[in-house]
Amino acid sequence: LDPAALYTALDRLPDTDAPTLVVATAGTTDTGAIDPLPDIADVCDHHTATLHIDAAYGAPLLFSDTLHKQLHGLDRAPTVALDLHKLGWQPVAAGLLAVPDSAALAPLAHQAEYLNADDDTEAGLPDLLGRSFRTTRRPDIFKIAVTLRALGRRGLGDLVDHVCTAAQHLADLIEARPGLELYARPTISTVLFRPTGAPPAAVAALRRRLLHHGTAVLGRAATPEGLWLKVTVLNPHTQPDDLRGLLELVEGHTTP
């Protein structure tokens, strides 16, 4: 999200009392890119727009002693979404909405006599309706709480560091192979690459060959530069040999 383009777009909005919401991303699904959060927050302040940050993928960088710096500006958003099914190693569903003050959840308030009668709430019985629109749901927070207790911030930070280092290593290996082309150095743990100069149809067919062959299930991502194979490194046991082996598979299936 380009802050200058955002500034222009907000400037052009008609003058109304309607609220404006800007959604920035910390860790896009396609490339793992992190928007320039402080600049976007400045633009939102200037235009009195509310900022929400989708940090589903990127938020757990906060656990890392070094990588947390990439999320500078995250604290400027009154609401942040994170999803610990990625860099939190949880089974789905593990999405969270984080707010600095539970008063921000007031719009979720709902009263149903049979669920949260006022006198019950006043008598101290828990009232969960103000936390979600959904009344029936699994206790998703339980597994997250167990992980946080078992591994702690440092334990999770070590796993985050490991997969981000592995992604940098994978990028090094790709750059060292003339037959492969790297999209860009990874921001988090997502690495995009393809056989050098391969057109979109060839990349898509290569991905399907690997899939049908049962040897590698790679993601795909489209950018203005074409189509790419996508590896999102999330397994904290990944070793350099696994990454080398993956690239050999890709090279071995490049021609049908």
Ligand X SMILES: Cc1ncc(COP(=O)(O)O)c(C=O)c1O
* Positions that interact with ligand X (CB under 6 A): 25, 27-29, 54, 56-57, 83, 95
Write down the least CB distance from residue 154 to ligand X, Å: 25
CB count, 10 Å around CB of 101?
8
Cα distance between residue 96 and residue 82, in whole Å: 5
Write down the least CB distance from residue 21 to ligand X, Å: 16
Show the beta-strand stretches assigned E in 20-101. Answer: 21-25, 50-54, 79-83, 95-98
Write down the least CB distance from residue 194 to ligand X, Å: 21
3-state DSSP: the chain helix, strand, coil percent, rounded to 5?
Answer: 45, 15, 40
Sign of the torsion formed by the C-alpha atoms of 180, 184, 185 and 187:
negative
Residues across the chain = 256
Write down the least CB distance from residue 85 to ligand X, Å: 7
Q: Which is nearer to ligand X, 54 or 181 (CB)?
A: 54
Q: Which is nearer to ligand X, 1 or 202 (CB)?
A: 1
The answer to whether 70 and 43 are in contact (CB under 8 A) is no
The answer to whether 23 and 55 are in contact (CB under 8 A) is no
What one-character DSSP code corresponds to residue 55?
Answer: -
Write down the least CB distance from residue 29 to ligand X, Å: 4
Q: Which is nearer to ligand X, 81 or 198 (CB)?
A: 81
Q: Which is nearer to ligand X, 140 or 158 (CB)?
A: 140
Write down the least CB distance from residue 58 to ligand X, Å: 8
Residues contacting residue 44 through CB under 8 Å, at least 6 positions apart: 22, 50, 51, 76
Amino acid letter for position 225: E
Write down the least CB distance from residue 1 to ligand X, Å: 12
Q: Which is nearer to ligand X, 83 or 181 (CB)?
A: 83
Q: Which is nearer to ligand X, 25 or 254 (CB)?
A: 25
Q: Which is nearer to ligand X, 56 or 167 (CB)?
A: 56
Beta-strand pair 50-54/79-83:
parallel
Termini Cα distance of the chain: 38
